[in-house]
Every structure is written in structure tokens, then in C-alpha cells.
Structure 1
Amino acid sequence: MANASSKRIATANETALRNLQLGLLIVNLLAPTIRFLLSLITSRRFFPRTLPLLLYIIFTAGSIFTWRWFVTIGSPKRGANGAQVRVGEDLGGKGVVELGWDLIYMTWICTLGSAILGDWVWWFSLLVPAFGAYKLFSTIRPILGMFLPGIFGPKAPKDDTPQGQNVAAGAAEEKGESRKQAKLRARMEKGDKRIQQVQRR
């Protein structure tokens, strides 16, 4: 069963790497072609302004670096006789691999979008570092909670949640009330009309 899973991961990785290489070629050839055609038809410039051009270079270099890293970690290593020796990492996994795919897809979207719609599309590329910062913060938040529990620690539940009602019921049991009486009292304090009608009778 483990062997079947390894073969599935190896096949999926090879397909993903082939599609990724093809996508990099298509996007980086199609975008300049669209820009050139639109510069002939409309009054738009063929070359982007300085900031979008710089973002294109940075994000394209990052996506190529990510692709090469995916090839390094995801390609299955085969023996001399063609038998598979070691399966690479799963390229459909979570964590840093998922962020790498996000970087590649966002680069493709911004490259083609800026060629078709205009250079303002590159502002969407800021979503990648923002999402990375959010994931990093959610990873280190428990560590920060140990040192600053008042700011980053877990929040106390409100009284209207079921957990809060259970805490209230536990406190009522200490006073000598049953759970049912504690729940009725909590509903009455909230202003439940059914409880008020029972009390009038």
C-alpha cells in the first residue's frame, strides 16, 4: 500500500513539474506578445513602467527559483536499471510548498493581467507577502502567547456561548443548584419569554 502511495506521489509530481515548465514558457511568451499587439492597436506602451518591470523581474525570478526547487525536491530518483530508488516530496503538500505554488500562480496572473489590463494589476502581487506574513504570524503566535499571554494568549469565552453556560452551570453546582436550575436561571437572566410564563403560573 505504501508502494502504491509512493507511485501516486511520483506520478503526480512528474505531471505537476511538466505542467509547471510548460506554464512558465507559455506565460512568459504570451505576455510580451499580447503587450506588443495591444501597443499596436491602442496607445499603451509596450514596455511597462519602472516599478511594474521591477516587480515582473523579481516575481519571475522567484517563480523560476521555486520551479527549480520543486524539481530538486519533487523529482523521483531512479536507479540505473530504471527502478525507482526514492520518491520526492509531495508537491501537493501544505506549508512552504503551498506558498511556492501561490507565488507561481500569482506571478502568472499578474504577468498576463498586466499585459491585458494594464500595469496596475501588479498591485495584486502584494497579496503573496501579505499571506506569507499572516501564515508566519499564525505559526509563531503560540510562542508569542507564552511570553505575552495578555496580548497573544487565548481569549476568554463569552457568557452566551455553550462553554460559558457550562462554566456558569459548574459555578451554580458549587452553590447547590442543579444543572437544570442553573440553565433556567441563565435563560431567565437573558429574558427568555418561556421561562417568564412558567414563573407566572
Structure 2
Amino acid sequence: MAQKSQKTLATRNASTLNRTHLLSLAIHAFFHILRLVFRNRPSLLPYILLSAPSIIIEAYFERLSRPTYTTSEPRTLKRAGEDLQAPGLTEWMWDLLYWTWGCVVLVAVIGDRGWWAWVVVPGYSVWLAYGTLMGVKGGMGGLMGGAGAGDEEGKEGQSKRQAKMEKRGGQKTVYR
């Protein structure tokens, strides 16, 4: 049972990649079949440009995550590939892949106006960047020379015991 986790990862990656390629083939075939059957022909240039991210991501996943085996018998696992269920960038690429497939289906059904759904992706990115920027700006409030820096900050940071001692006129806390 050597490398059981690697073998499991290799099996999972291979099945995920095969399922992804078949689904992608079905979606793009659906687009082209509807394009040929109905005379509502969406333009090919937007199709090529806006479905390119899904094709590039699939090729990247294939190169990065397809398990490799030795050529000699018995075949043994050389490399399991990267985990396709990893959080972070991989997760974001899956989201982009699914959104692209949705846009291709939408265009196949309603025509070229369906490509406007792609506006959501950069719009969402701008919204996230704005939220991050405001979060960083808020977190740097004391460093950026915000109002209220000084005595009031020190009093807010006091414990109840320190506040009582100062109220009685006892030992005063000195902040540097």
C-alpha cells in the first residue's frame, strides 16, 4: 500500500479531467449544433475570444494534473499531478471554467447578447478589489494619521481595573 494517497489523487484527477473534457466537448458541440440548425447564427469571433479561457484552463489542468505512469511493465505511478480540488487559484479557475461554459450555453440559446454575461466576471473582480482596498485603508487608519489618535485611543484600550484606579486618583497608566 505504498503511496496510497498519491494513487487516490491520481485516480481522482484522471476521472475529473476525463469528465471535464467530455462535458466541455458536449457544451461546445451543443453550441455548434444549435448554430447550424437555427439560422440565428452567433458570431464566431466573440465565441473564439470568450471561450478561449475555458480551453486554456482545461489545457493547463491537463498538463498540471494528469497523472503519469512508467512505460515499463508493471506500470507504476511516476507523478500523481497537482490536486484539482485545491483551494485558491485552482478553485478560481474552476469557477471561471464553469462561468465560461454557462455563457457558451446562454449564447447558443439566446444569441450574441448572451456574451454580455461575461461582464459579470470583471465586474466582480473590480468589486472584490474595491472591498479589499477599503479593508486595507480601514485597517491602516491609525497609521494614516486618522483623527482621534492620542489620549482617547489609550483610554479605550484600558481594562476596567486600570480605569477604576485612574478614577480614584491612584496610579496612572502612562502610555508612550
Instruction: Tell me if TM exceeds 0.5.
Output: yes
Question: Identical aligned pairs, as a percentage?
Answer: 28
Deviation at 1:135, TM superposition (A): 6.0
Match of 2:161 in 1: 173
Q: CA separation of 1:175/1:137 partners in 2, compared to 1, >3 Å: closer, same or farther? A: closer
Aligned pair partner of 2:48 in 57, 67, 72: 57
- Is the aligned partner of 1:28 residue 2:28? yes
Structure 1 residue 18, shift from structure 2 partner = 0.6
Measure, in 2, the Cα distance between the counterparts of 1:15 and 1:137: 38
Aligned to 1:115: 108
In angstroms, what is the RMSD of aligned CA positions? 3.5
Residue by residue, what CA displacement relative to the aligned partner does 1:142-172 show, whole Å, maximum 9, x if unpaired?
xx949x823999xxxxxxxxxxxxx969543
Partner of 1:79: 70
Deviations for 1:56-107, whole angstroms, at most 9, x for unmatched residues? 2123222111111111110112112310012100011122212221222111
Shift of 1:55: 3.4
Q: Quickly say closer, same or farther: Cα 1:132–1:76, change in 2 above 3 A.
A: farther
Larger RCO (CA within 8 A; separation ≥ 6) = 2
Aligned length: 152
Q: Residue 42 of structure 1 aligns with which residue? A: none
> Could you say which structure has the higher helix fraction?
1
- Matches of residues 31-180 of structure 1 in structure 2 within 5 Å? 31-39=31-39, 45-48=40-43, 53-81=44-72, 82-132=75-125, 145=136, 149-150=140-141, 170-176=158-164
- Which stretch shifts more, 68-77 or 167-176? 167-176
CA distance in 2, matches of 1:19, 1:115: 21
Mark the CA change 1:93 to 1:104 in structure 2 (over 3 Å): closer, same or farther: same
Under a length normalisation based on structure 2, what TM-score does the superposition of the two structures give?
0.69
Q: Give unpaired runs (5+ residues) of structure 2.
A: 145-154, 166-176
Q: Which runs of 5+ in 1 are unaligned?
A: 40-44, 154-166, 178-201
- Cα–Cα, structure 1 residues 127 and 8, in superposed 2: closer, same or farther, change >3 Å? farther
The two structures have a TM-score, normalised by structure 1, of 0.61
Residue 12 of structure 1 pairs with residue 7 of structure 2? no
Cα distance in 2 for partners of 1:2, 1:149 equals 50
The AA in structure 2 aligned to 1:46 is R
Q: CA separation in 1, counterparts of 2:64 and 2:128? A: 22
In structure 2, relative to structure 1, the CA distance for the partners of 1:88 and 1:123 (3 Å cut) is same
* Aligned counterparts of 2:10 and 2:110: Cα–Cα separation in 1: 38
- SS of 2:78's equivalent in the other structure is strand
Q: Contact between 1:77 and 1:85, CA under 8 Å: does it hold in 2? A: yes
